[in-house]
Amino acid sequence: MKTQARLIASPSVRHRINVGVRTGLAAFGGYGLALLGAAAFAAGLPFDFRPDAVSLAIMLAFVLQLVAIIWVFAAATVTRAVLGLAVPAALFGLWLLLLRQ
Amino acid sequence: MTTFDQPRPLRQSMSWLHTWSGLLLGWLLFAIFVTGTLSYFRNEITFWMQPELHRAQAVPPEQIAFVRALALLEREAPGAQQWTLTLPNPRNPTLGLGWQAAMGGERQAAPGAARERPGRSEARGERGASAPDSAAERRPFPADASRERPGRGEARGEDGARRESPWRGSGEGGAFAPDSAERRSFPADAARERPGRGEARGAGNASAPQETRPQGSGAGAQAQRQGRGGGGGGGGRGARIVLDPVSGDRLEGRATAGGNFLYRFHFELYGMDRIWGRWIVGIATVFMFVALVSGVIVHRRIFKDFFTFRSGKGKRSWLDAHNASSVLSLPFHLIITFSGLVLFGHMMIPTAVQSAYQGDNEAYYGAMRAPMASAVSQASGERAPLITGLAALIAEAENTWGDGKRVGSVVITHPGDRNAVIELRQMNFPGLTGGRNIPSLRFSGVTGEPLGASAPREQSIVQAVGSVLNLLHRGFFATPAPRWLLFLSGVGGALMIASGLVMWTIARARKTSEAARTHWGHRLVEVLNIAAIAGLMAAIAIHFWANRLIPAGLSARADWEIHAFFIAWAVMLVHAALRRSKAAWVEQLACAGVLFALLPLLNAASGGLALPGSIARGTGLLVGFDLCALVSGAGLLFAAYKVHRHVPRVRLASSPSRGEEPDPDPGPETEPGMPLPETMEKAA
């Protein structure tokens, strides 16, 4: 069938690798960033009542995950997709590190 | 990393993302949407499923047989710590009695009891959150009763931990929708923790202004006795005693899975560990979120297209239907999806609490409870008769509130003690951001003298946001209009998902003559579409039929209602796999349509209050159910008719070549004039 023939063709294989990488990034990177962001927000947001920070951190985490997933697929290249996750992740990590000290 | 890393246009990527995030779990999302939408009326559904209760008539407080009700409580639950009387309300015309046992609940405490504490206070809040809703809320779901066995300690414990919701801190108490029922099933824990656990006790009482203990402790035990938990929901025969409000006669509703089965299915599925179920639903929700937002990005002309509908044009029409149903209630879809995620927040994003409290969950829950803490009356140990003139107190409270506000429930703490307190809670939900602040008035249970009103609690902005999300997700409103709006939006969401799923196959359909050689993946999607959309509808109808056809006295009948649902669904799947797709669509839609349309007749024939009777008596919730069944039946039959009559347009030439474009889905905006395949058409 035509579809199958197209899939075997080499541009399609490249495409599949591309999509596979992005899917993995979206699933694990997106969730990881959400977890990391939630940790930083929950500890670092300036609230007197800490549970408020926790609630807000959870809400922001889901938004963060959404944006991360969209970004991973929207970025023109995989390199940019990775950077788009790595930079905020590093920032959140740094923030957490500072909070711990 | 360059050979495979060619830049792709944004819209193409988003289109791909939209297609696949929507398709992959689309069938599950459809089921979640349908059952979740029905859950807005789960009280009504449960009530319908207990025809024994249909003839109860909501009456004003002065006509309620309080004396008999209190005598019954005295007989059934002497020495209980708390009694609750849920007054007849528009969503349930019966008088409900519940109680919380004092020490030594008869029920087996599940392992992980200690962790249940936060859950308990939450349950309380939730119940407080909306009097009209409370009736169903406080009944244990049958599945819970049967699932909570000591052997399942692990899951339970985890549940307990996850049960904490952000809403709780928000003064929203019960916001963690999912848990309402199961929280309630741990009354025994409450009792057990008491001795030697002053701390726990204090925590349990934290929300004094509205303290209601999780009910159904005695209830739970009773539920167990009835086999499968007495059938949750309206079924909560176990959880509660239901009285005819006028005569005070006990009404014995059949055990039923009730609307609570559909409700619980929509967030934790069935037949698996509920933590698994919740994770699966949570992940599906993330997919939904991604599909929604990527869909908006793809959809440039979102508002223009909303006003466009081209009927009878194959894929174009499906696209228009998909767009219209999506855009019309887009705010609803976004809110329902996001709030659904937030309801799972503590489970899915555990790092927030871990980080803020260095892994000390107890500290977190302690902090959340602190603002709610206040004194609770303690029993004196001295006996004193409880006053029985509840109607007078209710009249007094309603006068004090004015403005047509009515009492929704009466909570009596330490009945029979000199320190007994009668708390009258308002029926109507106070407002969108009111959180758990149900206004209430307290009276001495012995002298009847007023003890003051509940103190309103302040909410921070975050808590208010949490409350709003929670309320919108759960439809806690005093009046039916917003709930109907949510219900219709939910229907719109189901249509959006269904049209999207169907579009996937239509966009990929081969020429009809090639149908025999359809790609197995397309065939799989098609079969799943039929079973997940038409088949689910038929299975839900069968669930309602089973409710009336399974003998009322059969043991474990609530289970069989659920089994009937799944057996019917499985049959639909097999049927869809065996039949040609068009025939399968027609047959299943017609089957579901006939079953729904006949529900009012079944209701009349199997002991329920028939439609003319319910209209005459003004039992709105039964009228609503029967009419909804008729409308759904008609809609499904119409859909079946349209599919049946549809003659597929023969495709022009061969499928359009899209060159090397790897994405077979051109996205919602294909080039005009492109020959579009059309295999079937079904009115959405």
pLDDT-based confidence at B480, cuts 50/70/90? Answer: confident
Smallest CA–CA distance, residue A26 to chain B, in Å, is: 11
- Is there a contact between B122 and B166 (Cβ–Cβ < 8 Å)? no
Read off the pLDDT of residues B269-288 as tens digits, 9 standing for 90 and up: 998 898 999 999 999 999 99
B681's CB contacts (< 8 A; 6+ apart) are: B312, B314, B317, B318, B642, B643, B646
B353 touches chain A (CB under 8 A): yes
Smallest CA–CA distance, residue B649 to chain A, in Å, is: 22
Cβ burial, residue B86 (10 Å; 0-12/13-18/19+): buried
Q: Which helix (H) or strand (E) holds B569?
A: helix B557-578
Work out the average pLDDT over B495-515: 77
Chain A residues close to B517, C-beta within 8 Å: 1
Please identify among residues 184-223 of chain B the ones whose CB lies closer than 8 Å to any CB of chain A.
Answer: none
For residue B231, what pLDDT is reported? 32
Chain B residues close to A61, C-beta within 8 Å: 345, 349, 351-352
* Contact criterion met (CB < 8 Å) for B297 and A11: no
Mean pLDDT rounded to a whole number for chain B = 73
Please give the torsion angle defined by the CA atoms of residues B557, B561, B566 and B569, in that order, rounded to the nearest 10 degrees: 150
B34-48, B591-605, B636-650: least confidently modelled range: B636-650
Within its chain, how far is the Cα of B92 from the centroid?
Answer: 16
B342 touches chain A (CB under 8 A): yes
For residue A3, what pLDDT is reported? 52
B172's CB contacts (< 8 A; 6+ apart) are: B125, B129, B165, B435, B436, B463, B466, B467, B470
Chain A residues close to B350, C-beta within 8 Å: 35
* Contact criterion met (CB < 8 Å) for B342 and A58: yes
Within its chain, how far is the Cα of B518 from the centroid?
Answer: 39
Smallest CA–CA distance, residue B447 to chain A, in Å, is: 40
Selected residue of A54, A56, A70, A100 to mutate for chain B interface (largest B Cβ count, 10 A): A54
B59-68, B233-242, B335-344: least confidently modelled range: B233-242
Q: How big is the CA angle at B292 (ends B287 and B295), to the nearest 5 degrees?
A: 120
User: Helical H runs in A1-77?
Assistant: 2-8, 10-24, 30-44, 50-74
A1 touches chain B (CB under 8 A): yes
| Residue of A14, A15, A73 lying closest to B17 (CB–CB) | A73
B366's CB contacts (< 8 A; 6+ apart) are: B203
Chain A residues close to B293, C-beta within 8 Å: 66, 70
pLDDT at residue B546 is higher than 70:
yes
Q: Report percent pLDDT > 90 for chain B.
A: 30
B468 touches chain A (CB under 8 A): no
Residues found in chain A: 101
The residues facing B96 across adjacent strands are B86, B242
Q: Which pair of tokens denotes residue B410?
A: 């009466």
Smallest CA–CA distance, residue B7 to chain A, in Å, is: 4
pLDDT-based confidence at B51, cuts 50/70/90? Answer: very high
Give the strand order in the sheet containing B82-86: B250-251, B241-243, B95-100, B82-86, B407-413, B421-426, B440-444, B450-453
Residues B637 and B298: their CA atoms lie apart, in Å, by 34
Higher-confidence residue: B218 or A56? A56
Q: Which of A3-7, B438-442, B559-563 tops mean pLDDT? A: B559-563
Read off the pLDDT of residues B322-351 as tens digits, 9 standing for 90 and up: 888 888 888 999 999 999 999 999 999 999
B101-110, B384-393, B473-482, B597-606: least confidently modelled range: B101-110
| Range list of β-strands (E), B439-479 | 440-444, 450-453
| Residue of B1, B4, B349 lying closest to A58 (CB–CB) | B349
A46 touches chain B (CB under 8 A): no
Residue found by looking up tokens 């848990």 in the block: B179
* Contact criterion met (CB < 8 Å) for A73 and B662: no
Please give the torsion angle defined by the CA atoms of residues B399, B405, B409 and B412, in that order, rounded to the nearest 10 degrees: -30
A17 touches chain B (CB under 8 A): yes
Residues B230 and B239: their CA atoms lie apart, in Å, by 8
* Contact criterion met (CB < 8 Å) for B169 and A55: yes
Residues B447 and B454: their CA atoms lie apart, in Å, by 19
* Contact criterion met (CB < 8 Å) for A3 and B170: no
Each domain of chain B, given as residue ranges in start order, spans 509-651+674-684
Please report the sign of the dihedral spanned by the C-alpha atoms of residue B41, residue B43, residue B46, residue B47. negative
Please identify among residues 378-407 of chain B the ones whose CB lies closer than 8 Å to any CB of chain A.
Answer: none
A49-53, B236-240, B428-432, B617-621: least confidently modelled range: B236-240
Where on the phi/psi map is residue B402: left (φ > 0), alpha (ψ -120 to 50), or beta?
Answer: left
Q: Which of B157-161, B507-511, B607-611 tops mean pLDDT? A: B607-611
Please identify among residues 52-91 of chain A the ones whose CB lies closer than 8 Å to any CB of chain B.
Answer: 52-59, 61-62, 65-66, 69-70, 73-74, 76-79
| Residue of B289, B345, B664 lying closest to A58 (CB–CB) | B345
Work out the average pLDDT over B383-412: 85
Q: Which helix (H) or strand (E) holds B287?
A: helix B274-298
Chain A residues close to B167, C-beta within 8 Å: 55
Q: Which of B17-21, B53-57, B221-225, B452-456 tops mean pLDDT? A: B17-21
Residues B343 and B162: their CA atoms lie apart, in Å, by 10
B652 touches chain A (CB under 8 A): no
- Is there a contact between B169 and A52 (Cβ–Cβ < 8 Å)? yes
Pairs of residues, one from chain A and one from chain B, whose beta carbons lie less than 8 Å apart? 141
Smallest CA–CA distance, residue B355 to chain A, in Å, is: 5
- Is there a contact between B425 and B438 (Cβ–Cβ < 8 Å)? yes
For residue B224, what pLDDT is reported? 32
Within its chain, how far is the Cα of B391 from the centroid?
Answer: 33
Please state at what angle helix A50-74 crosses helix A30-44, rounded to 10 degrees: 150
Selected residue of A21, A47, A49, A58 to mutate for chain B interface (largest B Cβ count, 10 A): A58
Give the residue among A101, A99, A96, A100 at the shortest CA–CA distance from A36. A96
The residues facing B411 across adjacent strands are B84, B423
Q: How big is the CA angle at A60 (ends B331 and B39), to the nearest 5 degrees?
A: 45
Higher-confidence residue: B122 or B383? B383
> Own/partner pairs for B271-277, CB < 8 Å, 24+ apart?
B271/B566, B273/B152, B273/B155, B274/B147, B274/B155, B274/B159, B274/B182, B275/B155, B275/B158, B275/B159, B275/B162, B275/B347
Residues B352 and A2: their CA atoms lie apart, in Å, by 49
B283 touches chain A (CB under 8 A): no
Q: How many CB atoms lie within 10 A of CB B581?
A: 21
| Residue of A38, A66, A73 lying closest to B289 (CB–CB) | A66
Give the residue among B216, B171, B194 at the shortest CA–CA distance from B113. B194
Work out the average pLDDT over B500-523: 73
Residues B567 and A18: their CA atoms lie apart, in Å, by 41
Work out the average pLDDT over B226-251: 58
Q: Which pair of tokens denotes residue B666?
A: 């051109």
Give the residue among B403, B663, B372 at the shortest CA–CA distance from A6. B663
* Contact criterion met (CB < 8 Å) for B463 and A39: no
Q: How big is the CA angle at B119 (ends B116 and B124), to the nearest 5 degrees?
A: 130
B289 touches chain A (CB under 8 A): yes
pLDDT-based confidence at B177, cuts 50/70/90? Answer: very low
B303's CB contacts (< 8 A; 6+ apart) are: B327
Termini Cα distance of chain B: 45
> Own/partner pairs for B549-553, CB < 8 Å, 24+ apart?
B549/B606, B552/B52, B552/B254, B553/B254
- Is there a contact between B678 and B648 (Cβ–Cβ < 8 Å)? yes
Query: What DSSP assignment string belongs to B21-65?
Result: HHHHTHHHHHHHHHHHHHHTTHHHHHHHT-GGGTT-----GGGS-
For residue B371, what pLDDT is reported? 58
Please identify among residues 511-530 of chain B the ones whose CB lies closer than 8 Å to any CB of chain A.
Answer: 517, 519
Q: Which pair of tokens denotes residue A14?
A: 């490249």
| Residue of A17, A65, A74 lying closest to B4 (CB–CB) | A17
Residue found by looking up tokens 């709006």 in the block: B485
* Contact criterion met (CB < 8 Å) for A49 and B166: no
Q: Which pair of tokens denotes residue B447?
A: 């002298």
Each domain of chain A, given as residue ranges in start order, spans 2-100
What ipTM goes with this model? Answer: 0.90
